[in-house]
Amino acid sequence: MCDDSLFDFLHSEIVAFLYRTADKDDQDQCISKLESLGFRVGQSLVERFTKDCGRFKDDLDIMKFICKDFWNSVFKKQVDNLRTNHQGVYVLQDNRFRFLTQISNGKQFMDTAPRYLAVACGIIRGSLANIGVNSIVTAEVSAMPACKFQIQIQRA
């Protein structure tokens, strides 16, 4: 089976590659490209995941699945804290996020953190979309390597 580190190498090279090859003016696009790349991955991944399990009871049940099993497999640990306002907004806090652990802890690389979270946001959004939940996923970093993902569920 594939070694974990391969994915880390591939991920950081994808981010570096897109930024290296983009023109100065197109750098905004990189985030959305990374996000859509993640979306695709999330979509197919969750299908493989949930193939043998029953229906989810409700949104909270889905979120618990994302925070535990899903996070464990994709990001190698569970989410540290899950909060919700019970109106469709969920905040997932990870104190040691996989993609940020290789980056220095100080303030120095704060500006570049978003590009290392875009793929993850896409993966989460893609997975939820394939379970049948449309959402907007955003991430924020206040102190590396911790980060918060906010999931806003969109009702049709």
Q: Are 95 and 75 in contact (CB under 8 A)?
A: no
CA 2/CA 26 separation, integer angstroms: 34
Q: How far is the CB of 142 from another protein (least distance, A)?
A: 27
Taking the complex as a whole, the smallest distance from the CB of residue 73 to another protein amounts, in Å, to 4
Question: Who contacts 152 (Cβ-Cβ below 8 Å, separation ≥6)?
Answer: 88, 89, 135, 136, 137, 138
Q: How far is the CB of 42 from another protein (least distance, A)?
A: 9
Q: Which is nearer to another protein, 7 or 152 (CB)?
A: 7
Other CB atoms within a 10 A radius of the CB of residue 155 amount to 6
Please tell me the distance from the alpha carbon of residue 130 to that of residue 62, in angstroms, as a whole number: 12
- Residue 64, CA atoms < 13 Å, CB-side half-sphere: 6
Q: Which of 70/90 has CB closer to another protein?
A: 70
Judged by CB, which is closer to another protein: 64, or 89?
A: 64
Task: State the nearest-atom distance from the C-beta of 38 to another protein, in Å.
Answer: 8
Chain positions contacting another protein, by CB under 8 A: 1-7, 9-11, 13-14, 16-17, 21, 33, 36-38, 40-41, 44-45, 48-50, 52-56, 61, 65, 69, 72-74, 119
Selection from 62, 80, 81 nearest residue 124 by Cα? 62
**In the complex with another protein, which residue's Cβ is closer, 8 or 80?**
8
